[in-house]
A and B are shown apart, each in its own frame.
Chain A
Amino acid sequence: DQQVKQNSPSLSVQEGRISILNCDYTNSMFDYFLWYKKYPAEGPTFLISISSIKDKNEDGRFTVFLNKSAKHLSLHIVPSQPGDSAVYFCAASGVQAGSYQLTFGKGTKLSVIP
C-alpha cells in the first residue's frame, strides 16, 4: 500500500511558466516532508522541505505548500527553467519501527521546454 503518492508520472511546462508538482500521503504520523530532485546517473539531491506545523515554505523559485487536512503537498517552481528538467521525488518522514525513515513517492519527471 503506497503511503506517498505522486499520481503524475510526467509534466511538461514552458520555460518561464509555473510548474506545479503534487503529492498525496496517507499516514497521519508523517510530520516532515521533503522534495528531492534527481538528474540521470546522479543521486537524489535535497531541494526543499516543510514541517507539519507549517503550511508554506519558500526558497527562491521553489515553494512547497502543505495541506494537512487533505494530506496533500505541492511544489511550485516559478519561473521554470530548462535546468529544472529532472525527476522530482516527494518524501515523507516519520518514526517507523522505532526510527526515523523516509518514504518516497514514485517521482514526477518534469520537462521544461525552452
Chain B
Amino acid sequence: NAGVTQTPKFQVLKTGQSMTLQCAQDMNHNSMYWYRQDPGMGLRLIYYSASEGTTDKGEVPNGYNVSRLNKREFSLRLESAAPSQTSVYFCASIWTASNQPQHFGDGTRLSIL
C-alpha cells in the first residue's frame, strides 16, 4: 500500500545543475501537488495539477517546471538549481481538488551548494 512515492529521498546538487524530482501515486487520484518546506516555514505550494493534462502555478513557482506525465506521475524540474532552492520537497495527491485531505509523500531533501 504505497500511497505517494517520491524519489530520490536525498540529493545534493551544485549551483547551476538540473534535477527532476519524481512523484507517483497509486490511489487513482486526479489532483497532484508539489510543495516546499523551509525551516520555520509551513508548506508552500509550488505547482499543482488539478487533473491529467493540466498544470498551474502555486505560490512560489519561480525556478521550477512541472510535468503531469500521466494520471499517476507528476514531476518537478529544477532547470538551473540555486542555493535558495535548498529545501524539503513534498508531493501530495487527492481524489479531486476539493475540501478533502491531501495525501503526502515522505519528501525529497534537496541541498544545493
Physical interaction between A and B? yes
Segment 45-72 of A: residues with Cβ below 8 Å from B: 45-46, 49, 51
A-B contact count (CB 8 A): 54
Q: Which residue of B lies closest to A49 (CB)?
A: B101
Residue from the list A32, A36, A45, A46 in contact with B99, Cβ < 8 A: A32
Determine if B111 is an interface residue (Cβ-Cβ < 8 Å): no
Determine if B104 is an interface residue (Cβ-Cβ < 8 Å): yes
- Show 27 A/B contacts (Cβ-Cβ < 8 Å), sorted by A: A6-B42, A31-B99, A41-B106, A42-B107, A43-B4, A43-B104, A43-B105, A43-B107, A44-B43, A44-B90, A44-B104, A45-B104, A89-B42, A99-B48, A99-B50, A99-B56, A100-B98, A101-B45, A101-B48, A101-B58, A102-B43, A102-B45, A102-B102, A104-B42, A104-B44, A106-B41, A106-B42
B41: chain A residues at CB < 8 Å are 106
Interface centre among B56, B101, B107 (most CB of A within 10 A): B101
Determine if A75 is an interface residue (Cβ-Cβ < 8 Å): no
How far, in Å, is A87 (CB) from chain B's closest CB? 10
What count of chain A residues pass the 8 Å CB interface test? Answer: 26
A36: chain B residues at CB < 8 Å are 104
Contact pattern, B 35-77, Cβ under 8 Å of A = 1, otherwise 0 = 0000011111100101000001010000000000000000000
Q: Which residue of A lies closest to B58 (CB)?
A: A101
How many angstroms from the CA of A93 to the CA of B15 in the assembled complex?
A: 35
Interface centre among A9, A42, A102, A105 (most CB of B within 10 A): A102
How far, in Å, is A98 (CB) from chain B's closest CB? 8
Determine if A77 is an interface residue (Cβ-Cβ < 8 Å): no
How many angstroms from the CA of A93 to the CA of B41 in the assembled complex?
A: 18
